[in-house]
Structure formats: structure tokens, C-alpha cells
């Protein structure tokens, strides 16, 4: 059976911990290996979950940004590019790299729309769009927290 990416990362990490780190006396090299260990922890959390998380997040962005475009009007290139590309990408089997790119474009559109909401505060529908964008950002941060919390928050090395 072929090992998963997570299993391979764990094997690399174990080899570094058991066979390389004990042989290193230089403090800077030890520090570098501790940084590599943290990155490998991060990748073990991220690799199996990133694709599904990006798919879910981007699907939510399509719905959210379609509604925001209808409420505020279109015209922003990032928004239009995202809404033109994302549905087709989500309908097929997208690579993680493609999902990262389209999700980034969608989040750039969220940034532009948040600025537009601030500029149009008090107008009909704008406050509702702003609230929806803000709620999305909180859900996005929660989705990504699993990649970072166990890796970068914990016992100092």
C-alpha cells in the first residue's frame, strides 16, 4: 500500500528527530531543525484537510459574492474574475493549487467589497452585505485554524 502524504511527512519528521537532531551540536542548526519540525507538524495538519476546506470555503464565497454583487452592483475585476471562474472549477476535480488561487481571488473581492461597504455605509442593503462579509471572514478563520492552532500554539521548544 502506498503511504499517504501525511505518513511520509511523519516519517521524515521521525527520521530528523531520531537520526539527525541528536548528531547536531551547532545551536543555529538545532534551531533550524526545530523550525523544520514545526513546519512538518503544520503540513501534517494541512495536507489532508486543505483541499476539502478550500472547496467548501470557495463554494461559500460563490454564494456570498453573487449576492453581494447583486446588492452592491458589479464591476470589480477581482469579483467578476472570481465569479466567472469559480463555479466551473468547483464543478470538476480541482487541484489544491487551483483552489488556492481561486480562493485568493475571491478573498481579494471580499476585501474590495468591504471597502465599498464602508464607503456606502447607511445605504439600503449595504449593512446586510457588510454583515455577511464579516461573518464569512470569521468562518474562514475558523476553517483555517486547524492548520495553525496545534502547530504554532503550544509548548515552546
Encode pLDDT of 72-92 as tens digits. Answer: 877 788 889 999 999 999 999
* 47 touches 79 (CB < 8 A): no
Mean pLDDT along residues 89-106: 95
> What are the residue boundaries of the structural domains of the chain, listed by start?
5-152
CA distance 15 to 13: 5
Burial (CB count <10 Å: 0-12, 13-18, 19+), residue 3: exposed
User: How far from 76 is each of 30, 32, 65, CA to CA, in Å?
Assistant: 48, 43, 11
Name residue, grid cell 539527525: 20
pTM for this prediction: 0.82
Residue 151 has pLDDT above 70, yes or no: no
* Residues 18-71 pLDDT 10s: 999 999 999 999 999 999 998 998 898 889 999 999 999 999 999 999 999 988
* Model pLDDT, residue 76: 82
Q: Which three cell numbers stand for residue 76?
A: 470589480
Q: Which three cell numbers stand for residue 124?
A: 439600503
Which of 60, 137, 53, 51 has the alpha carbon at shortest distance from 97? 51
Mean pLDDT rounded to a whole number for the chain: 90
Amino acid at each position: 500500500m502506498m503511504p499517504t502524504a501525511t505518513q511520509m511527512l511523519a516519517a521524515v519528521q521521525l527520521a530528523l528527530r531520531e537520526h539527525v537532531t541528536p548528531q547536531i551540536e551547532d545551536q543555529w542548526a538545532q534551531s533550524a531543525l526545530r523550525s523544520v519540525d514545526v513546519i512538518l507538524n503544520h503540513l501534517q495538519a494541512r495536507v489532508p484537510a486543505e483541499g476539502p476546506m478550500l472547496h467548501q470555503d470557495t463554494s461559500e464565497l460563490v454564494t456570498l459574492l453573487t449576492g453581494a454583487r447583486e446588492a452592491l452592483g458589479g464591476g470589480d475585476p477581482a469579483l467578476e474574475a472570481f465569479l466567472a471562474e469559480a463555479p466551473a472549477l468547483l464543478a470538476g476535480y480541482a487541484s489544491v493549487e487551483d483552489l488556492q488561487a481561486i480562493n485568493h481571488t475571491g478573498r481579494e473581492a471580499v476585501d474590495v467589497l468591504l471597502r465599498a461597504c464602508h464607503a456606502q455605509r447607511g445605504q439600503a442593503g449595504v449593512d446586510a452585505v457588510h454583515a455577511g462579509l464579516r461573518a464569512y471572514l470569521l468562518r474562514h478563520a475558523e476553517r483555517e485554524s486547524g492548520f495553525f492552532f496545534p502547530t504554532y500554539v503550544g509548548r515552546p521548544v
